[in-house]
């Protein structure tokens, strides 16, 4: 886990150095926040290390949030619940934009 965090930190450095237009909005601003809701159809391919609860496929409902730090870096969060399994799945992470079609 520590290696993954170090790798992500090393990837963020050049992205932040490359960032342009980072000063057009204050760092703490509601204009940087995005909220959404969605429905997914998810499936589990299975493996030898499968969990005890095996769910082949199901629909999930979720809430999603994103906070834009600089043009290429977002802090993301989601929480979703399976309609059949009633299992919650949540995550907090960092998203680095590799390609944007608008530029």
- What's the pLDDT at 49? 67
Residue scoring higher pLDDT (80 or 48): 80
Domain over 2-96 is classified CATH 2.20.200: yes
Euclidean distance between CA atoms 34 and 67, whole angstroms = 6
- What's the pLDDT at 45? 67
Q: With beta carbons less than 8 A apart as the criterion, state whether 94 and 74 touch.
A: yes
Q: What is the pLDDT of residues 14-49, one digit of tens each?
A: 555 455 555 577 888 888 999 999 999 988 766 656
Give residue for tokens 């609860």.
53
Say whether pTM exceeds 0.85: no
- What's the pLDDT at 21? 53
SS3 string of the chain?
CHHHHHHHHHHHHHHHHHCCCCCCCCCCCHHHEEEEEEEEEEECCCCCCCCCCCCCEEEEEEEEEEEEEECCEEEEEEEEEECCCCCEEEEEEEEECCCCCCC
Residue ranges per structural domain of the chain = 2-96
Q: What average pLDDT does the structure give for the chain?
A: 80
- What's the pLDDT at 76? 94
Percent of the chain with pLDDT over 90: 37
């Amino acid at each position: 886990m520590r290696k993954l965090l170090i790798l992500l930190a090393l990837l963020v450095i050049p992205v932040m150095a490359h960032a342009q237009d980072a000063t057009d909005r204050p760092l703490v601003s509601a204009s940087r926040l995005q909220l959404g809701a969605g429905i997914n159809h998810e499936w589990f391919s299975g493996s030898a290390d499968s969990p005890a609860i095996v769910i082949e496929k199901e629909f999930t409902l979720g809430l999603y949030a994103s906070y834009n730090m600089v043009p290429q870096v977002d802090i993301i969060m989601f929480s979703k619940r399976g309609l059949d399994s009633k299992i919650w799945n949540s995550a907090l992470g960092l998203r680095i934009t590799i390609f944007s079609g608008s530029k």
